[in-house]
Amino acid sequence: MTAAGREQLERFRRAVGARLGLRFDDDKLEQLAQVAEERAEATKARSIDAYVARLSGEGGGDEVRALAERLTVGETYFFRNSNDLEAFSGAVLPDRVRRRGADRRLRILSAGCASGEEPYTLAMLVRADAQLASWDVRVHGIDVNPAAIARAREGRYSAWSLRQTTPALRARFFRAEGRHSRVVDDVRALVSFEERNLVDDDPALWAPGSWDVVFCRNVVMYFSPEVFRRVVARIAGALVPGGYLFLGHAETLRGVSTDYHLRQSHGTFYYQPRGTEEGAPALGPPDDTLPSPSPSPSPWPSPTPAPAPDARTAWVQAIQEASERVAKVAAAARAPEPREGTAAKDALPTRGEPDAHGDGARVALALELLRRERFAEALAALGPRAPAAEEDVDALLLRAVLLTSSADLAGAERVCARILERDELNAEAHYLRALCREHAGDPVGAADHDRYALYLDPTFAMPRLHLGLLAKRGGDLELARRELARARVLLAGEDGSRILLLGGGFTREGLLEVCRAELGACGGME
């Protein structure tokens, strides 16, 4: 491709991002070039630049629709991601019934609904709930792809779309039409469809209090970060007090939005806007913020918790990573020069000594002392706890690490709780809290916090390692082997500064050896 051609293609990529919100990496440029050439020819544009000018202009709406057909991903099927649907039926709907009992009205949005399988599925779950039989319930599906909306309105599907639908559900909610199946009329009566572009300002769609529940699964992952942030901000403003947002399993608001509380039940995660929960409790132990039809089962078959190991063993069995913020602190901070006549290895902070180097120097010195396992001195280097309004999350996290390393698990958990009050989506605080829960004899709570951490950061190695060790002690060797094998892969690529912060004094090779030894003890193969 010539330099001029590449520049034209870059302009087309930017225009697609502006009009559809879609992000295309360099490995997709060949596909973009083909689409740009086809649309330029179809519209009789003189060049790709001329086509981009048309797309970007006020009259470019038809081209946005044409591009949506070519560039959006429409893969979907009925009853997809059953854990989300179980949470919707078992926790969210009962909660909304309780809160909306006075007006008996629910509004549910399926954003990026593609060919309609998701909104019809949600309507089927509503029809299956006897409490909602006399309620005014509407499910609205929106998508930018006009061809997908047309298929959704038809309500007629092939066997491929029903591949996760049980025979009983097929019999109840579909009628055979030759080789296809059509959604029954009483379900279709609940659902409406409309072409909408999530990138556009749309006051009618996002009016305050419009929606009780929004499903926006496997949509924002294709957006640029800026569009992602705008969309979830609009959703937060449009949800009723106590409303809910479901994202896809590969999507998280970590680093994107602080407007939401993270919730967990039925083996999945979802969100509620902050400050609009009508008195819903702040984040506490996982699964205790919503009503559930039955207590959450233990993730492994041991009816009696294993004895808690000593703090050092617990730390060996689950250590590591910080996040982007922690990595930044470890990489950017520089230790102060030792005072004249003092060996570098023996340089210590002095209580009450004027701070000539500032907060960054204190953090750097504490990190160096942590590396040398001089935990009490590292805590002294951090100084006394700052006022709540001035507390820095990174410094709090380092303090929690030091308290954990010093076997002050209760103190570490209190600091983690303060971190999560400020940043519920902090994967590292959830991980440290998992260690504390394990030490307190609560393996189920420990596993829940590990899962929070992994949802928020799937590359986080130590929650994997910790889950594997918890499963091994609980007797579930298959789960232990699976989690330990995953942890081993993640540890091999872990950033060195993260290992320094959360490695408990172990090198990368030492942590990998823990994985290898534990895998062998579980019958895993090298």
Per-residue buried b or exposed e for 437-468, using 16+ beta carbons within 10 Å of the residue's own CB: bbbeebbbbbbbbbbbbbbbbeebbbbbbbbb
pLDDT at 505: 67
Residue type for position 220: V
Per-residue buried b or exposed e for 472-488, using 16+ beta carbons within 10 Å of the residue's own CB: bbbebbebbbbbbbbbb
168-109-114-268 Cα dihedral, nearest 10 degrees: -60
Tokens of 355: 């701070």
Residue 397 has a CB neighbour count (10 Å cut-off) of: 25
pLDDT at 291: 32
Domains contained in the chain, CATH given: 3-71 (no CATH), 82-273 (3.40.50.150), 311-336+357-521 (1.25.40.10)
Q: What distance separates the 2 farthest-apart alpha carbons in the chain?
A: 90
The 3-state DSSP class for residue 141 equals: strand
Contact 381, 349 (CB under 8 A): yes
From first to last of its 526 residues, what are the pLDDT tens digits of the chain?
667 678 889 999 999 999 999 999 888 888 899 999 999 999 999 899 999 999 998 778 889 999 999 998 888 999 999 999 999 999 999 999 999 999 999 999 999 999 999 999 999 999 999 999 999 999 999 999 999 999 999 999 999 999 999 999 999 999 999 999 999 999 999 999 999 999 999 999 999 999 999 999 999 999 999 999 999 999 999 999 999 999 998 899 988 998 999 999 998 999 999 875 444 433 333 333 333 333 333 332 232 333 333 433 433 333 333 333 333 333 433 333 333 333 333 433 333 343 444 566 777 788 788 777 788 888 888 877 766 655 778 888 889 988 988 888 899 999 999 999 888 899 999 999 998 999 899 999 999 999 999 999 898 998 999 999 999 999 999 999 999 999 999 998 877 777 777 776 678 888 888 888 999 998 876 5
pLDDT at 359: 62
Query: Count of alpha carbons within 13 Å of 115, Cβ hemisphere only?
Result: 19
Q: What is the pTM of this model?
A: 0.74
Q: How buried is 232 (Cβ within 10 angstroms: 0-12 exposed, 13-18 middle, 19+ buried)? A: buried
Pairing relationship of beta strands 211-216 and 136-143 according to DSSP bridges: unpaired
pLDDT at 337: 35
pLDDT at 525: 60
pLDDT at 377: 86
